[in-house]
Amino acid sequence: MSSIPSYATHKPETSCRCSAYLDWLQMLTGACLILFMLMHLLFVGSAIISPSLMNGLSKVFEWTGMAQIGGPVIFFLLLLHFVLAARKIPFASKQQGIMIANARRMHHLDTWLWVIQAVSGMVILVMGSIHLWTVLTNLPITAQKNAMRLQDSRAWIGFYIVFIPMVWLHTGIGFYRIMVKWGIVGIDGRPGLRKKDALIAATAMVIGFMTLWRFVFLSIN
Amino acid sequence: MARMLTFNIFRYNPQDSASFPHMQEFRLEETESMTLFIALNRLREEQDHSLQFDFCCRAAICGACAMVVNGRPGLACHTKTKDFPDKITLMPLPVFKLVGDLSVDTGTWFRGMAKKIESWCHTKKVFDPNAQEERMDNALAERIYELDRCVECGCCVAACGTALMRDDFLGATALNRIARFILDPRDERTEKDYFDIIGTDEGVFGCMGLFGCQDVCPKRLPLQEVLGKLRLKMAFAAANNLLPKFLRREVRL
Amino acid sequence: MQIFQSDLLCIGAGLAGERVAIEAADNGFSAICLSLVPARRSHSAAAMGGMQAALGNSAMGEGDSPDVHFADTVKGSDWGCDQEVARIFVNNAPIAMRQMAFWGVPWNRVIGGEQTYYKGGKPFQAYEKPENEGLIHSRSFGGTAKWRTCYTSDGTGHAVLYALDNRATQMGVEVHDKTEAIALIHDGSTCMGAVVRCMKTGELRAYLARAVLIATGGYGRLYRATTNAVICDGGGMAIALDTGVVPFGNPEAIQFHPTGVVPTDILVTEGCRGDGGTLLDVNEYRFMPDYEPEKQELASRDVVSRRMVEHIRKGFGVKSVYGQHLWLDIRHLGAHHIHTKLREVEDICQSFLGVDPVTQLIPVRPTHHYSMGGLRVNKDGAAYGLKGLFSAGEASCWDMHGFNRLGGNSLAETVVAGMVIGGKVVEYLKGADTVFKTETMRDAVAKQQARIQSLISGANGGEDVYAVREAMYDALILGAGIFRNGKDLQESIARLNTVLDRARKVGLKSSGLGASPELSLALKIEGQVKLALCVTHAALNRTESRGAHTREDFPERNDRDWLTRTLATWPDSAADKPVLNYEPATKVFEMPPGDRGYGGGKTIPMDNPPEAAPKGANGKAQGSEK
């Protein structure tokens, strides 16, 4: 049996479940972050309808402690998810080259999607941290504060123009990958899922940009 | 009017000290129903006797002639030239050791894989030549055969980003083989035995879900579903002892 | 130079070779298989249809027994087979099938109750006994009284080969793939091993073994149009013939398959006709019932092939740029049946022809398919002429096929002969001692090195090896096709003599370094032309028609003069023709010569017809699993 090791070991039990646990964690943290992002979208998107609606929601979060506790938890999930996923991302340039060469040679969409996910993941790690830090150190969240930040400095507008698409590319592709990798969607379902998923991500991106637009032109008083 | 095809073919003979890896251009007039089997043999017989490539059954049954055709791994024998533009680039499969030109050593890789995952029915029973065969449900036999159809061509491995980056990754073909034995009641291995083989980052958890394997498999094996269900099965096999009863699952392939 | 030593050396790692190796390994002997390709790419994998064994589990196989199977096999062989061997085969076939099931072959199984099957294009109902549910099922094949062919969808050869190679891996059988045996090491009486060229590096190696088995498959690639894989080039037979002492049995017994697709000559399985596929001519008229009212499309292969050529000659062929052909029609079997039971057939039509068999006709023509002849061995698989040399499978003339083999019998032969002969090899290994003479080995290797050097340097001449092969193709088919006659065979021999002369003057155009495909071919072309000469000389000499050997100038089956087996040897390697000897086709007559019941034709009877020996007097079934 392959369970009998051919080398000396200090472990009484040879089978290690850690790969399985880490894979579970990677998927579950990813799924949580996807759910969070959808709720976050509804939350900030509410500003499009009315900034006071968003402020109202924010008060609820503040009052229930969701912002104070949930915020740092999300931050932690983001970091954890990155560490878990990074186990699979090549950091050696030779391996990165192999991956990109393969995607290019095969003209293979799913391999390209993975490359996008890996790159956007890195970007989100940095920008997401900045975003979260800025927001969480200035609680409670209000539409006016957001507007002020954006209207104060154009750099922040540039920041979100990059950040929003990165987030939704990563979230959209991540959702698609969970569905196919975990056998939830079958072979025939894959192209259809890809289309629907792209539609949802694109819608989210549009709502994200509309919110950004709203904040940039929101009268602060 | 027949097309004039241009073939760009990878050339390198490791046994010839004067040889170096390069691309060589050949030209050949297309004929009706031309496949790469016909084209490559004509090139060797008419233009360059030293050209190396592998064909065996030339009927897409044996898996010998896998190569990279315009970037995608596939079986050369059932690749019709009419499905391609008039420029065709042929490269040997990556991952496998090069023998020369388009010929690679898949035999060593697959034999090693078979030994590693112990690709045989493990049983404590002894064959009795006088006994009737053990019964099996026909539908189950057909499901086993469905996965047993793999021809070990190596396309799925060559198209897999993970396998290209990490040479310890088992690859879709090995995981599919394990799924075949999990289905087969004649193999008495337990879930734990299977977990020991594939429940790692070299096995099913190493799969990053790119599904190049599914998209190039010349036998159209359901690799995406097999890998997905195996991941779920192995993930629950590991987690079931931590989960409360109502969340535990016995995943069936 | 590397020297490998083992108890058993199998040249060839298809079903027969690996099955013998497994038997040796099971009994504690070391076994190495040489193979031109990885073991699982062996041509055994391409056999789609199935394996005949009288299990009698299915409704249409009810009442089947080894005796019925025996009668079908002997009739099929047109009484050319060795009846002792046929008996050993039919008695052991059910055991071998069950053993393969035990080792993991996903045989299709009986589904109880009313089932729909097809015969002659028409659906009918048969009641499968519920008590047989889950046992190995069988399908219909040409030339059989019962439905006897065990199958796995239409990938039987593939499924069995994979199961067997799994077992070989488990038992530690070594497979050295991409290697080619280019000469046997022997001293004229004992075989000690082989000189082998590594086809990854081009290096020569020596393999020494107490027992050597040749299981390299058939010699179909002597023909341009053949269903055989490109590795079925007669290499194993050529090196045995080259010893000068090992005879090539019945070289002229060559079967053509009725349904090779045009133009690629890829086989579509007989299962198509077994399941109810029909043959149509240029007017889309079903012509087989006119020729063979009873068996129709399911008459034995030689009969169907001949009727097809006959019909084409009458002017009913479909003309195409690749020559004339006929149509195979399986449309009426329905999309579901074709998608599930005949999927490989569908694949072939789609991938190689661009034809959809659910809605379109498949262009087919008779194509070279199987070599009944091979290295003559006795019923234990031991070759005539050299001690320690064995042969099994298509490479051998064990001789259960005689002059025509039944579909499904040859694939079954590989594992049955492998099991039986494997047991005999084990007996031999237990009792045999050999002296390996290093000088014999050194001489053999030096001789091959010299050959390679002179091919590379062009010392013998500058003939292009591919051109020589083309000339061989043209010369052989002229005389030794489906229909044969004295005049064409003589012309064929005259041309092959010229080709042999050219083959001896081959010089390489490329460097010959490394795996060099040109050198591989150059090393065997002379041997191939000699095999072709064995075929034509034997065919010319045999002035009768028997099974697949059809002489237009001698249309009768002549049991009086030709109930014999050809034994061709080539004692003087510089000579231009083989020496032909003959032996009786069979020592035991369980079934005296009679009428096949299909194929038509007259018979010249024996002068003193033998009494029938008692049924199953010999060849008791033998178990082999320890």
Give the residue numbers spanning the domain of A126.
29-216
Q: Is B158 helix (H, G, I), strand (E, B) or coil?
A: helix
CA atoms within 13 A on the CB side of B82: 9
| The pLDDT value given to residue A44 | 80
| Nearest in space to C99 (alpha carbons), one of B116, B121, A133 | B121
Lowest mean pLDDT among A57-66, C90-99, C180-189, C373-382: A57-66
Task: Report the residue from B205, B229, B239 with minimal CB separation from A183.
Answer: B229
Q: Are C344 and C48 in contact (CB under 8 A)?
A: yes
Q: What angle do CA A63, A65, A67 make, to 5 degrees?
A: 105
pLDDT of C623 above 50 = no
Is it the case that residue C622 has pLDDT exceeding 50? no
Q: For residue A168, is it within any domain?
A: yes
Query: Which residues in C lie closer than 8 A to residue B78 (C-beta atoms)?
Result: 351-352
Confidence category of residue C403, pLDDT binned at 50, 70, 90? very high
Q: What is the pLDDT of residues C566-576, one digit of tens each?
A: 999 999 999 99
Residue C619 predicted with pLDDT over 50: no
Q: Which CATH number fits domain B117-247: 3.30.460.10, 1.10.1060.10, 1.20.1560.10, 3.40.50.720?
A: 1.10.1060.10
DSSP type of residue C150: E
Residues of C in contact with B124 (CB under 8 A): none
Domain boundaries, chain B: 4-104, 117-247
Interface size A-B, in CB pairs within 8 Å, comes to: 120
Higher pLDDT, C117 or C546: C546
Cβ-Cβ contacts under 8 Å, C513 against chain B: 13, 15-16
More confident residue, C520 or C436: C520
pLDDT digits (tens, 9 = 90+) for B56-74: 999 889 999 999 999 999 9
Among A212, A138, A175, CA closest to A33: A175
Indicate the SS3 state at residue C140.
coil
Distance, CA of C328 to CA of C348 (rounded, Å): 13
Q: What was the pLDDT predicted at A60?
A: 82
Choose among C272, C363, C277: nearest CA to C325. Answer: C363
List beta partners, residue C10.
C33, C213
Distance in Å, alpha carbon of A17 to nearest chain B alpha carbon: 6
Judged by average pLDDT, the poorest of A77-86, A132-141, C256-265, C569-578 is A132-141
Q: Which of the residues of C are catalytic?
A: 257, 273
Residues 354-383 of C with CB under 8 A from B: 354
pLDDT at A213: 84
Identify the pLDDT of residue A5. Answer: 46
Is the pTM of the predicted complex or chain greater than 0.80? yes
The pLDDT mean for chain B works out to 94
Q: How confident is the model at residue C616 (pLDDT cuts 50, 70, 90)?
A: low
Q: DSSP 3-state assignment of C422?
A: helix
The conformation of residue B87, written as its DSSP 8-state character, comes to E
The side-by-side arrangement of strands in the sheet containing B72-75 is B22-29, B4-11, B87-91, B66-69, B72-75
- Contact (Cβ atoms closer than 8 angstroms) between residue C224 and residue C532: no
**Residue-level pLDDT at B214:** 94
Put simply, whether B199 touches A (Cβ < 8 Å) is yes
Is the CB of B84 inside 8 Å of chain A's CB atoms? Answer: no
Side chain identity at B230, as an amino acid letter? L
Does A200 reside within a domain? Answer: yes
pLDDT band at A1 (very low <50, low <70, confident <90, very high): very low
The domain tally of chain A equals 1
Question: What pLDDT band is residue C160 in, cutting at 50, 70 and 90?
Answer: very high
Closest by Cβ to B205, choosing from A19, A95, A184: A19
B222 close contact with A: CB closer than 8 A = yes
Task: Tell me which range, B27-41, C207-221, C249-263, is most confidently predicted by mean pLDDT.
Answer: C207-221
User: Of B192-206, C134-148, C265-279, C438-452, where does mean pLDDT reach its minimum?
Assistant: C265-279
What does the pLDDT look like over C220-248, one tens digit per residue? Answer: 999 988 999 999 999 999 999 999 999 99
Alpha-carbon span C538 to C582, nearest angstrom:
10
Min distance C467 CA to chain B CA atoms (Å): 8
Q: How confident is the model at residue C618 (pLDDT cuts 50, 70, 90)?
A: low
What's the pLDDT tens digit per position in C9-58? 999 999 999 999 999 999 999 999 999 999 999 999 998 889 999 999 99
Tell me whether 0.90 is exceeded by the ipTM: yes
Residue carrying structure tokens 């659910």: C358
Residue A107 lies inside a defined structural domain of this protein: yes
Q: How confident is the model at residue B27 (pLDDT cuts 50, 70, 90)?
A: very high
**Contact in structure between C163 and C170 (CB atoms under 8 Å):** no
Across chain C, mean pLDDT equals 91
B63 contact A CB<8A = no
pLDDT band at A11 (very low <50, low <70, confident <90, very high): low
- Name the residue in chain B with its Cα closest to that of A177: B209
In CATH, which of 3.40.50.1820, 3.40.50.970, 3.40.640.10, 3.10.20.30 is domain B4-104? 3.10.20.30
Task: Please provide residue C603's backbone torsions phi and psi, each rounded to the nearest 5 degrees.
Answer: -125, 135
Q: pLDDT, tens digit, for every residue of B126-170?
A: 999 999 999 999 999 999 999 999 999 999 999 999 999 988 999
CATH at A77: 1.20.1300.10
Q: How many CB atoms lie within 10 A of CB C17?
A: 37
Which of B14, B61, B108 is the closest to C46 by Cβ? B61
Looking only at the bridges linking them, the beta strands covering C191-198 and B103-105 are unpaired
Name the neighbours of B, counting chains with at least 3 Cβ pairs within 8 A: A, C
Among the partner residues B208, B235, B237, nearest to A88 by beta-carbon distance: B208
The residue ranges of DSSP E strands in C485-586, in sequence order, are: 550-551, 557-558, 564-569, 579-584
CA distances from C130 to B134, C111, C113, C341 (A): 15, 8, 6, 22
